[in-house]
C-alpha cells in the first residue's frame, strides 16, 4: 500500500477531528457548526472558501498553469437516529448520529486540503466541495441551483463512500452504474364510505388497494429483463379509523430502485398502468403521484479512478466486479453536468451496516481516501 507520507503524518490529527465531528452530528441542511469547523481548518491552511447551496462550502485551490479543474465532493450530514455505540466519542446529541460515515468523508477532504496547502505543484485547479443534505434533503441540487457549474469550470468530479462488507484496504471501482436511482410514489384510492355491515351500499377502496399492491409486485418479475435489477417496495398503507366503518380513502406509499434509466422509465409507466387499470376495474378514483428523487449514479471515467486506486492500494486490492448498490446517492445529480467517478473504500468485512445504530467510520480509511484523491490529481493535473 502506497499511502502518501504527508497524509500519514496528519493521521492522528485527522482522527481526532473525525471523532469531534462524530460527537457533534448535524442533520440535513443544518450543518452550521460543521461548516464553521471546516472553515476554521481551511483558514489555518491558508485556503479560502465560499458558501454555496445551503450550508455547503467550496474551496478553490490553484496550482500552476493549466485550465483543467478537478473537483472532489464529500457529504457531511448525519442521520436522525440514536447511537448505540459505547465508545468515548459517541454522539452527544440525542436522536442524531453519524451512521453513514459522512464524518469520515469530510475529514478525508480536510486531510487533502492540509496536503494541498503545502503542495501546489500541479497544473490546473482543484475544488473541494463539502456538501450538506445528502440524506434525502436535496443538498446536491441546492449546490447546483446556486450556480456551482456556472461559477466553476468542473472538468472532473470524484467522491467516495466508506463501504461496510468490503475488506479494509480495498477500493471498489464500478464501470458504469455504481448506485441506484430512487423514486417515490403515492397512490390515493377514493371510494364511498359506509357501515361495515352494508358494503353493498359502499364502494370499498381496500379491495382495490389489495390488487394494486399485488399488481405492483409483478412488475419486476414479469416486465424487467432478468439481467437487469429493480426493486418495487410498498412502505406505507393508511386508511380508515373505525372497526365497523368502510373509509372513503386509502393511501399507499412506495419506493422504487433501479440501476438503469430505461428500466426506471418502464417501472414508472407500469405502476401507472396498474393504478389506472385497478381503478377502472373497481370503479374507484385511483390517483398516482410519482416523484423521481435521485437519478442513477453512473461512473463515466472509471479508468482514472482505477489507475489511482491501483497505485494507492495495489492492483490486488482493487475490486472491479462488485454489483452496484440499490442504495441511492445524490452525487448522481452532479454526474449529469460533468465527468467523474464515485468509488467505495472498504470499511471492514465485519463493519456494522450503513444506517445502523452501531456503525462507525474506520479511521484507517482517512489516509487511504486522501491518498486516492492526491493520486487522482497527479493523474489528471
Q: How large is the average pLDDT for residues 219-241?
A: 93
Q: Tell the burial category of 259 from Cβ atoms under 10 Å away from its Cβ (0-12, 13-18, 19+).
A: buried
CATH architecture of 180-294: 2-Layer Sandwich (3.30)
pLDDT of residue 350: 96
CA distance 147 to 144: 5
Q: How large is the average pLDDT for residues 147-176?
A: 97
Length of the chain measured in residues: 381
Residue 310: pLDDT above 90? yes
pLDDT exceeding 70 applies to what percent of the chain? 100
Residue 64: pLDDT above 90? no
Best CA proximity match to 319, nearest among 302, 301, 334:
302
Best CA proximity match to 194, nearest among 148, 244, 230:
244
Residue 1: pLDDT above 90? no
Q: How large is the average pLDDT for residues 286-311?
A: 96
Residue 193: pLDDT above 90? no
Domain boundaries, the chain: 5-168+347-380, 180-294
Q: What is the pLDDT of residues 80-97, one digit of tens each?
A: 999 999 999 999 999 999
Assessment of whether the complete model's pTM goes beyond 0.85: yes
Confidence of residue 201 (pLDDT cuts 50, 70, 90): confident
Cell numbers representing residue 112 in the block:
487533502
Q: Please, what is the average pLDDT of the chain?
A: 96
Best CA proximity match to 220, nearest among 229, 211, 212:
229
Q: Taking the C-alpha atoms of 240, 242, 246 and 250 in order, what is their torsion angle to the nearest 10 degrees?
A: 0
pLDDT of residue 98: 98
Cell numbers representing residue 302 in the block:
472509471
Residue 361 phi, psi dihedral angles, 5° rounding:
-70, 135
Candidates 3.40.630.10, 3.40.50.300, 3.40.50.720, 3.40.640.10; correct CATH number of 5-168+347-380? Answer: 3.40.630.10
Amino acid at each position: 500500500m502506497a499511502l502518501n507520507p504527508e497524509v500519514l503524518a496528519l493521521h492522528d490529527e485527522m482522527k481526532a477531528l473525525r471523532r469531534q465531528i462524530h460527537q457533534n452530528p448535524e442533520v440535513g441542511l443544518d450543518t452550521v457548526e460543521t461548516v464553521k469547523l471546516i472553515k476554521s481548518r481551511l483558514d489555518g491552511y491558508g485556503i479560502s472558501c465560499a458558501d454555496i447551496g445551503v450550508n455547503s462550502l467550496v474551496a478553490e485551490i490553484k496550482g500552476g498553469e493549466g485550465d483543467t479543474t478537478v473537483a472532489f465532493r464529500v457529504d457531511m450530514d448525519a442521520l436522525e437516529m440514536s447511537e448505540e455505540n459505547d465508545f468515548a466519542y459517541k454522539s452527544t446529541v440525542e436522536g442524531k448520529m453519524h451512521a453513514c460515515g459522512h464524518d469520515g468523508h469530510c475529514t478525508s477532504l480536510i486531510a487533502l486540503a492540509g496536503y494541498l496547502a503545502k503542495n501546489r505543484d500541479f497544473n490546473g485547479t482543484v475544488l473541494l466541495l463539502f456538501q450538506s443534505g445528502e440524506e434525502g434533503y436535496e443538498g446536491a441540487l441546492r449546490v447546483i441551483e446556486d450556480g456551482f457549474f456556472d461559477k466553476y469550470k468542473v472538468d472532473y468530479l470524484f467522491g467516495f463512500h466508506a463501504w461496510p462488507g468490503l475488506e479494509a484496504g480495498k477500493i471498489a471501482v464500478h464501470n458504469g452504474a455504481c448506485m441506484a436511482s430512487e423514486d417515490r410514489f403515492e397512490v390515493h384510492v377514493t371510494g364511498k364510505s359506509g357501515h361495515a355491515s352494508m358494503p353493498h351500499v359502499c364502494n370499498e377502496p381496500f379491495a382495490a388497494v389489495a390488487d394494486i399492491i399485488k399488481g405492483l409486485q409483478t412488475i419486476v418479475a414479469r416486465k424487467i429483463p432478468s439481467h437487469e435489477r429493480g426493486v418495487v417496495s410498498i412502505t406505507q398503507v393508511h386508511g380508515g379509523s373505525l372497526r365497523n366503518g368502510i373509509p372513503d380513502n386509502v393511501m399507499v406509499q412506495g419506493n422504487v430502485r433501479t440501476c438503469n434509466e430505461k428500466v426506471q422509465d418502464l417501472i414508472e409507466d407500469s405502476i401507472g398502468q396498474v393504478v389506472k387499470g385497478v381503478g377502472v376495474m373497481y370503479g374507484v378514483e385511483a390517483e398516482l403521484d410519482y416523484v423521481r428523487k435521485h437519478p442513477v449514479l453512473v461512473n463515466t471515467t472509471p479508468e482514472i479512478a482505477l489507475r489511482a486506486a491501483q497505485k494507492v492500494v495495489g492492483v490486488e486490492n482493487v475490486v472491479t466486479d462488485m454489483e452496484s448498490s440499490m442504495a441511492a446517492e445524490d452525487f448522481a445529480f452532479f454526474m449529469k453536468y460533468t465527468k467523474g467517478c464515485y468509488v467505495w473504500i472498504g470499511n471492514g468485512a465485519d463493519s456494522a451496516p450503513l444506517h445502523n445504530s452501531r456503525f462507525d467510520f474506520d479511521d484507517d480509511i482517512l489516509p487511504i481516501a486522501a491518498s486516492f484523491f492526491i493520486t487522482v490529481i497527479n493523474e489528471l493535473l
